Amino acid sequence: MEKPDYTIRQLLEMDACTNCRLCAEACPAALAATDGRLSAVYRLSRLRENLKGKTSLLQKLLGRKALSQEDRKKYADTVFRCTLCGNCQEVCPLGIRLKEIWFSLRRDLAHSDAFPQKIDMIRKNLSQSRNVFAEDNAERADWVADMRHPRDDSYLKKQAEVIFFTGCVASYFPLAQKIPIALAEILDAGGVDFALLGQEEWCCGFPLLGAGFMEMFDELREHNLASVKAMGAKTAIFACPSCYQMWRDHYHAEIELTHVTEFLLKLVRSKNLEFKSLPMTVTYHDPCDLGRGARVFDPPREIIRSIPGIKLIELPRNKENCRCCGGGGNLEMMDAELAGKIAKLKVEEILSTGAQSVVTSCQQCVRTITAYVKRNKISLEVMDIVQLVRKAMESH
Ligand code: SF4
Ligand code: SF4
């Protein structure tokens, strides 16, 4: 029997919605596009109508043909114009797990020909090259060559207790490669013996979750788990909140999983990292998957505050209410213009604080905000917290 796309719990949750519209007010996509059809309440009501009107309960539970092709095509456009930021779920007074419903809905659509072809590229790239950008996977750790003083083994040894799972974005985008470079330098300075998986690192599978193609995921997970096991690793560090989320929620790994902000905070607290004064005013952007997703709010703030001379100003919308930068949910691939409009709202909010720099903990947020700032010639420094820590060490 095929697994149904929607669980009984999800079907009950759909019925529980009271139409209060709080989720619509919190939705960055609906706000930026000025289009209520992108909001959670609209998407949920259409889904409910389609499921109720066209299927019996048994079909809902057993089948994948719940929505007609025509409905799917009209509807798919709104479904994929969502950053999967989870803000709707955060504000829903009934606690409806909207993000899980969005994943189920994408899975449902992936089984139909209403599926947006642009998104299909993810499946092709991952099956051919094991990374989301169709790059040569043997080049995953090429960024090491850009380090000033890399370790002789280029961090590619056979056994290591600590591994750094780099992620596709930081492995291949020149702008984002500065983050693993900075992290490797910090870990070296902090006396942490770590290794990379190199070409044995495959995409974590997060883009598949967002695309709705979880069938391919097992292969990626099994490979990554086997690679980590072969190294004898006890701890995996992630700088990418989406990789971190994937490993935490879908890998069932028997090792410690830690986001880099949590790992670096330990080094700060144990005085393994020393900072000199860095006189600057910064604000902090909580990445959706790290903040709302993993509830990691305090470690990055504690790291920032531990740097002498820094002044941290909070964004008007911060922590669990932080507004998405526009970089999530494969939205850039689907509707780059809308992703840019969401980034605009984000940058305007950042600028309202008067901070000279925005710090975040996600390479995709860095990419998205930097792209908007550069395109519009806005004077704002954008950096990952790893880069900030490295900068504070550089000021020796
Ligand atoms: S996940 Fe974010 S973008 Fe998607 S509907 Fe919810 S609030 Fe809107
Ligand atoms: S916030 Fe929750 S209850 Fe209110 S409209 Fe949205 S999904 Fe329905």
Strands (DSSP E) found in the chain: 162-165, 194-196, 235-238, 256-259, 280-284, 310-313, 357-360, 381-384
**pLDDT (0 to 100) of residue 377:** 97
Q: In whole angstroms, give the CA distance from residue 142 to residue 389.
A: 23
Q: Kindly state the tokens that stand for 167.
A: 């992620």
3-state helix vs strand vs coil in the chain, percent to 5: 55, 10, 35
Q: In whole angstroms, give the CA distance from residue 186 to residue 189.
A: 5
The ligand 2 atom at the shortest distance from the C-alpha of residue 21 is 5
Distances (CA, A) of 188 to 154, 174, 177: 12, 21, 17
Superfamily name with CATH number, domain 8-115: Alpha-helical ferredoxin (1.10.1060.10)
Residue 22 alpha carbon to ligand 2 centre in Å: 6
Q: Is 23 in the pocket of ligand 2 (CB under 6 A)?
A: yes
- Cβ contacts of residue 7 below 8 Å, gap of 6+? 104
Residue 77 alpha carbon to ligand 1 centre in Å: 14
Q: Token match 């097992």: residue? A: 218
- Nearest CA residue ID for atom 5, ligand 1: 40
Q: Rg of the Cα trace of the chain?
A: 21
Give phi and psi for 210, each to the nearest 5. Answer: -70, -25
Q: Kindly state the tokens that stand for 272.
A: 């393994």
Domain 119-266 has CATH 3.40.1350: no
- Nearest CA residue ID for atom 1, ligand 1: 84
- Cβ contacts of residue 39 below 8 Å, gap of 6+? 21, 23, 24, 27, 29, 30, 88
Choose the residue to mutate in 13, 14, 15, 17 for probing ligand 2, maximizing ligand atoms within 8 Å of C-beta. 17
Residue 329 alpha carbon to ligand 1 centre in Å: 9
Residue 123 alpha carbon to ligand 1 centre in Å: 23
List the beta bridge partners of residue 359: 284, 383
Residue 7 alpha carbon to ligand 2 centre in Å: 18
Task: With beta carbons less than 8 A apart as the criterion, state whether 105 and 79 touch.
Answer: yes
User: Which ligand places an atom closest to the C-alpha of 30?
Assistant: 1
**pLDDT (0 to 100) of residue 114:** 80
Q: Is 97 in the pocket of ligand 2 (CB under 6 A)?
A: no
Residue 317 alpha carbon to ligand 2 centre in Å: 20
Domain with CATH 3.40.50.1860 in the chain: 272-394
- Nearest CA residue ID for atom 3, ligand 2: 17
**pLDDT (0 to 100) of residue 153:** 94
- Torsion-angle region of residue 278: left (phi > 0), alpha (psi -120 to 50) or beta? beta
- Nearest residue to 51 (alpha-carbon basis) of 38, 65, 40: 65
Task: With beta carbons less than 8 A apart as the criterion, state whether 220 and 132 touch.
Answer: no
Task: With beta carbons less than 8 A apart as the criterion, state whether 81 and 338 touch.
Answer: yes
| 233-252: burial string, b at 16+ Cβ within 10 Å, e else | bebbbbbbbbbbbbbbebbe
- Nearest CA residue ID for atom 2, ligand 2: 92
Q: What's the whole-model pTM score?
A: 0.93
Cβ count near 199 (within 10 Å): 16
pLDDT by 10s per residue, the chain, length 396: 456 678 999 999 999 999 999 999 999 999 999 999 999 999 999 888 877 755 544 455 445 455 566 766 778 888 999 999 999 999 999 999 999 999 999 988 887 778 888 888 888 899 899 998 999 999 999 999 999 999 999 999 999 999 999 999 999 999 999 999 999 999 999 999 999 999 999 999 999 999 888 888 999 999 999 999 999 999 999 999 999 999 999 999 999 999 999 999 999 999 889 899 999 999 999 999 999 999 999 999 999 999 999 999 999 999 999 999 999 988 988 899 999 999 999 999 999 999 999 999 999 999 999 999 999 999 999 999 999 999 999 644
Domain with CATH 1.10.1060.10 in the chain: 8-115
- Nearest CA residue ID for atom 7, ligand 1: 27
**pLDDT (0 to 100) of residue 86:** 97
CATH architecture, range 272-394: 3-Layer(aba) Sandwich (3.40)
The ligand 1 atom at the shortest distance from the C-alpha of residue 39 is 5
Task: With beta carbons less than 8 A apart as the criterion, state whether 80 and 116 touch.
Answer: yes
Q: Token match 């531990």: residue? A: 306
Q: Kindly state the tokens that stand for 359.
A: 């710090």
Residue 388 alpha carbon to ligand 1 centre in Å: 29
